């Protein structure tokens, strides 16, 4: 039910945004949509021995990041599950990658949903994104 309400609200906001944009001839934007934040990772695993660059959806959790993925994204899940090395691509900071248990996933999903904006919550629901791994920078 909440997903239907979110979808309806986003459509109304989109229409209002378009109307204001047209009336102001592109000078004013009523609302700016933002998506789920992301990171670029370089993952080394048996399936990618030289390292594979990936773009992942994630949310900060203190110094850590929680990676979100759809269950259908088997390539990403396999790489993270078997990763021998993971780095943030932009800064080359090595991180430890720990896959989340089902209980941890449920807890993290509740925590993340509380902090989401309306467009982010819609995107997470629409793409069926779930927390799958915790990335912790090595110190």
19 and 46 assigned to the same domain: no
28 and 81 assigned to the same domain: no
Cα end-to-end distance, the chain, whole Å:
44
46 and 21 assigned to the same domain: no
27 and 88 assigned to the same domain: no
75 and 9 assigned to the same domain: no
Q: 57 — alpha (psi -120 to 50), left (phi > 0) or beta? A: beta
Predicted TM-score (pTM) of the model is 0.71
10 and 70 assigned to the same domain: no
Question: Is there a contact between 89 and 40 (Cβ–Cβ < 8 Å)?
Answer: yes
45 and 87 assigned to the same domain: yes
Per-residue pLDDT of the chain (139 residues; tens, 9 = 90+): 666 776 676 567 666 656 666 676 666 555 555 667 888 888 888 888 888 888 888 888 888 989 999 988 888 898 888 888 888 776 778 888 899 999 999 999 888 888 887 778 877 887 888 999 999 888 7
Alpha-carbon span 69 to 46, nearest angstrom: 20
17 and 65 assigned to the same domain: no
CATH of the domain at 76: 2.30.110.10
19 and 86 assigned to the same domain: no
The count of domains in the chain is 2
Which residues lie below 8 Å from residue 111, measured CB to CB, with a gap of 6+? Answer: 61
Alpha-carbon span 109 to 74, nearest angstrom: 19
11 and 57 assigned to the same domain: no
Alpha-carbon span 67 to 19, nearest angstrom: 36
Alpha-carbon span 139 to 125, nearest angstrom: 34
Domain extent for 113: 34-137
């Amino acid at each position: 039910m909440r997903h239907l309400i979110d979808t309806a609200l986003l459509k109304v906001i989109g229409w209002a945004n378009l109307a204001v944009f047209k009336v102001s001839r592109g000078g004013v934007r009523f609302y700016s949509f933002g998506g789920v934040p992301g990171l670029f990772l370089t993952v080394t695993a048996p399936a990618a021995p030289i390292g594979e660059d990936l773009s992942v959806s994630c949310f900060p959790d203190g110094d850590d990041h929680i990676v979100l993925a759809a269950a259908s994204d088997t390539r990403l899940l396999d790489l993270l599950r078997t990763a021998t090395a993971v780095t943030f691509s932009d800064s080359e900071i090595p991180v430890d990658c720990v896959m989340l248990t089902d209980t941890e996933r449920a807890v993290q999903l509740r925590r993340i949903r509380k902090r989401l904006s309306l467009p982010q919550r819609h995107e997470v629901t629409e793409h069926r994104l779930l927390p799958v791994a915790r990335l912790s920078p090595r110190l």
